[in-house]
Structure 1
């Protein structure tokens, strides 16, 4: 079906999502932060990137910005469990930077699957 680059610093989150995505027939590459993801994407551009926002070394907002700059047609979903009570919602910022869908963790795997089907044609 699709090659999905899954970016999250939490290995447990990556494992759950990877298993679910693979059951749907997708090939999944993993990265623990935005820097690893950029290297992986440059070597083998994925059909879809699913990235967490808050990660060490290079976070999701930086990753979205750099991917959009280098690969304007890249498809990116953003997710975050940390939505601090601030005026600036990081998922809204991700949308402004170019994420086509956002998800608050914990997210519905069913909703994620549906969103992927809607974007990967």
Structure 2
């Protein structure tokens, strides 16, 4: 199975996603912000990154751009909540910057699994 990095400043989301994906046979590592997440990518290879967009330190758009700049073969799924109702929705920007998929919070676990399987298959 895959080694997946989850980057989100919400501890509950990190824990729920980690337990769910661990239960599907994946090895999951977590980071509380983009800076820590990018450090983990440098320390050990990952097969997939799932990142929140709005975070302190380094945000998810910066994560997507940094990974695309260094490791173009690592797929990135961007997630965020509530922004689609705001004047500026950053998830479509994440897609333009290279995220392979985007999901709005709250994320249904079946939708997360579908996006993960699709990203890992390179679809």
Instruction: Report the TM-score when normalising by structure 1.
Output: 0.95
RMSD of equivalent CA atoms: 1.0
Unaligned residue ranges in structure 2 (runs of 5+) = none
Alignment partner, residue 3 of structure 1: 3
Unaligned residue ranges in structure 1 (runs of 5+) = none
- Shift of the alpha carbon at 1:3? 0.3
Alignment partner, residue 53 of structure 1: 53
Cα shift readout 1:4-60 (whole Å, capped 9, x = no counterpart): 000000111100110000010100010011100110001112100000000000000
Alignment partner, residue 110 of structure 1: 110
Alignment partner, residue 27 of structure 1: 27
Alignment partner, residue 97 of structure 2: 97
The list of structure 1 runs, each at least 4 consecutive aligned residues, that deviate by more than 2 angstroms after superposition, is: none
**Equivalent residues, number:** 120
